[in-house]
């Protein structure tokens, strides 16, 4: 079971709401995935209106507003406060973008915004990199969850720096972590769960698939498989081959 700011989620999938061909397709994807959390941007809600919001409410999922598209701490803090008023939740997925091409987080603006929002009573889910120094500073600022990227947003590359992510996971084993951004295939999600991460957040990999509902279901199964494999205590990697059939009792001809 996964605990995020005192909320226990029964499903390790979080799903974004942007980029679907239609609201009906988005709804089918959510129902196929069983996702427990929907990320929603303030700008998207303003553009879609009450019809979109009615669908989200009907899904019975937890809302995680985000500050998508913000490029400064001030902009992110302002957006977060507006989102809290609109969505009536202290949860906020904090994004402060620092690079236009990679959409990599701005570590300085991210930390500044996280400190401000945590002091203001927000429960912050910071979109960050696998940098351990930044992760520790975010934890010290009051973030009780981290959302390290797998790869640049929308790239579909999967876990770009597996060793760095392993080290981050090992450095803070008691901090819930969600792999956010860059996953493209269900196998990427299974890989993240096998590595010990607590959840994955998806959007483009599902919304831009030819059949979003089927892809959402595929990711759901992959996440479950990754969790089961992790909990089953996988065998370690070996440098040499080891026969699965013992030599004892072999007939010598």
**Residue positions forming the annotated binding site for 1-deoxy-D-xylulose 5-phosphate:** 154, 181-182, 203-204
Residues 13 and 34: beta-carbon distance below 8 Å: yes
Both tokens of residue 199? 């959840």
Closest CA to 63 of 109, 111, 125: 125
Active site residue 93: yes
84, 93, 169, 188: the active-site residue? 93
Write out the binding residues: 154, 181-182, 203-204
Q: Which residues are catalytic?
A: 93
């Amino acid at each position: 079971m996964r605990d995020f700011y005192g909320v226990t989620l029964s499903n390790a999938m979080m799903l974004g709401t942007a980029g679907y061909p239609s609201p009906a397709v988005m709804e089918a994807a959510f129902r196929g995935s069983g996702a427990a959390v929907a990320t929603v941007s303030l700008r998207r809600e303003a553009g879609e209106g009450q019809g979109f919001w009615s669908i989200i409410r009907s899904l019975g999922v937890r809302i995680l507003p985000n500050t998508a598209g913000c490029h400064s701490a001030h902009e992110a803090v302002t957006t977060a406060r507006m989102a809290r008023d609109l969505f009536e939740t202290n949860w906020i997925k904090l994004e402060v973008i620092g690079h236009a091409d990679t959409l990599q987080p701005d570590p300085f603006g991210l930390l500044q915004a996280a400190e401000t929002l945590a002091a203001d009573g927000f429960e912050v889910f910071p979109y960050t990199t696998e940098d351990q120094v930044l992760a520790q500073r975010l934890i010290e600022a009051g973030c009780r969850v981290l959302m390290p990227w797998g790869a640049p947003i929308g790239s579909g590359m999967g876990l770009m720096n597996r060793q760095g992510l392993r080290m981050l996971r090992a450095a803070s084993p008691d901090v819930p972590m969600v792999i956010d951004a860059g996953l493209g295939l269900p196998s990427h999600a299974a890989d993240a769960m096998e590595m010990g991460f607590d959840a994955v957040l998806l959007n483009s990999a599902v919304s831009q698939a030819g059949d979003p509902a089927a892809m959402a279901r595929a990711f759901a199964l992959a996440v479950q498989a990754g969790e089961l494999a992790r909990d089953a205590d996988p065998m370690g990697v070996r440098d040499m081959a080891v026969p699965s059939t013992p030599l004892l009792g072999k007939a010598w001809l």
